[in-house]
């Protein structure tokens, strides 16, 4: 409290010196001659009020600057949990990809906005960025078969809770095991890293997307079976005997979390569905801005999942 009072006094003194006035306002008014007309006191009163307002604004500004300095000092010296979280997010393989995924698809919307306003040059520059990011994301998937092989082993070692889910997992894994090599052939051939003909590059590009579209279609069936199992879990909790309130609440919270995750996965898959169909059909007229819109929603939903995982 004493430090704050001293600071306030020094700030007020500084303001008075800045204004070129070393005498208190009350003393100045006392030494002045009494006014000779009714108009003069009004002018003197108005001038005093203006001076006080100026002093108040100056003191407030100095206080605001002091608060900013203290906030910056605390930010630089103290812990930064949000910054740490961002670094963990970007350092993970999924978080790194999702950052660039948001960039890739959102820039397509920006391209459309610039083109609509007639800013052709800006539109083309942003389009170049979007294409570079898309190409980069395909490149970093050249190692995609390695984690895919690990996931296939995991799916066999730890079976799904139902036979239908287990078989769906196997078929979906098979579709991705075909998708990855075809995409690799497309990218390596398109960049002339390997001497593939244009026909092979074109064929592998379309068919890689078709196997991805098959995975997305099967994912709807997978989500339907998951929904049935989640509802069954919830019904079992309510009908189970000899369960205390705390245990029941814990189980219900687990079911609610599973349902929330299920809804997010459904949103992501619903956004991917039109995109994979678009890329699988020759001569598709699906607008690029729609690709950006659906892709951005899917990217943000996946970013949310990875952000929670890296908390």
What confidence tens digit (pLDDT) does each residue in 235-253 have? Answer: 888 888 777 888 888 889 9
Specify the higher pLDDT residue, 16 or 198: 198
- Give the model's pLDDT for residue 10: 42
Nearest alpha carbon to residue 306 among 268, 276, 280:
268
Q: What is the mean pLDDT of the chain?
A: 84
Q: Which residues of 252-268 are buried (b: 16+ CB within 10 A; e: fewer)?
A: eeebeebbeeeeebbeb
pLDDT above 80 (res 51): no
Helix (H, G, I), strand (E, B) or coil at 84: helix
- Give the model's pLDDT for residue 78: 72
| Token pair in block for residue 184 | 């690799």
H or E element in which residue 20 lies: none
Mean pLDDT across 106-127: 97
**pTM for the complete prediction?**
0.75
pLDDT above 70 (res 128): yes
- Give the model's pLDDT for residue 22: 36
Nearest alpha carbon to residue 184 among 138, 132, 151:
138
User: 10 Å Cβ neighbour count for 290?
Assistant: 15
Mean pLDDT across 168-173: 96
DSSP secondary structure letter of residue 196:
-
Mean pLDDT across 288-310: 97
User: 10 Å Cβ neighbour count for 210?
Assistant: 19
Specify the higher pLDDT residue, 237 or 218: 218
């Amino acid at each position: 409290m004493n430090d704050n009072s001293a600071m306030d006094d020094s700030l007020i003194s500084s303001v008075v010196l800045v204004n070129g006035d070393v005498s208190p306002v009350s003393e100045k008014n006392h030494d002045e001659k009494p006014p000779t007309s009714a108009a003069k006191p009004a002018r003197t009163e108005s001038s005093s009020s203006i001076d006080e307002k100026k002093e108040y604004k100056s003191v407030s500004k100095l206080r605001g600057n002091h608060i900013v300095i203290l906030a910056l000092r605390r930010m630089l010296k103290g812990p930064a949990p949000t910054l740490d979280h961002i670094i963990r997010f970007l350092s993970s393989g999924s978080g790194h990809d999702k950052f660039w995924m948001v960039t890739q698809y959102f820039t397509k919307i920006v391209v459309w906005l610039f083109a609509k306003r007639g800013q052709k040059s800006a539109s083309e520059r942003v389009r170049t960025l979007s294409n570079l990011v898309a190409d980069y994301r395909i490149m970093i998937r050249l190692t995609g078969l390695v984690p895919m092989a690990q996931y296939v082993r995991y799916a066999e070692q730890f079976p799904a809770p139902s036979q239908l889910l287990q078989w769906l997992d196997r078929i979906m894994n098979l579709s991705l095991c075909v998708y990855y090599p075809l995409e690799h052939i497309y990218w390596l051939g398109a960049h002339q890293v390997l001497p593939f003909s244009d026909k092979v590059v074109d064929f592998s590009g379309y068919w890689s997307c078709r196997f991805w579209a098959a995975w997305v279609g099967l994912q709807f069936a997978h989500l339907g079976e998951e929904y049935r199992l989640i509802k069954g879990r919830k019904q079992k909790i309510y009908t189970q005997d000899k369960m205390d309130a705390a245990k029941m609440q814990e189980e219900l919270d687990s079911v609610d979390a599973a349902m929330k995750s299920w809804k997010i996965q459904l949103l992501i898959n619903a956004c991917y569905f039109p995109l994979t169909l678009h890329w699988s059909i020759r001569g598709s007229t699906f607008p690029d801005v729609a690709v950006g819109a659906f892709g951005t929603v899917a990217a943000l939903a996946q970013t949310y999942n990875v952000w929670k995982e890296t908390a």
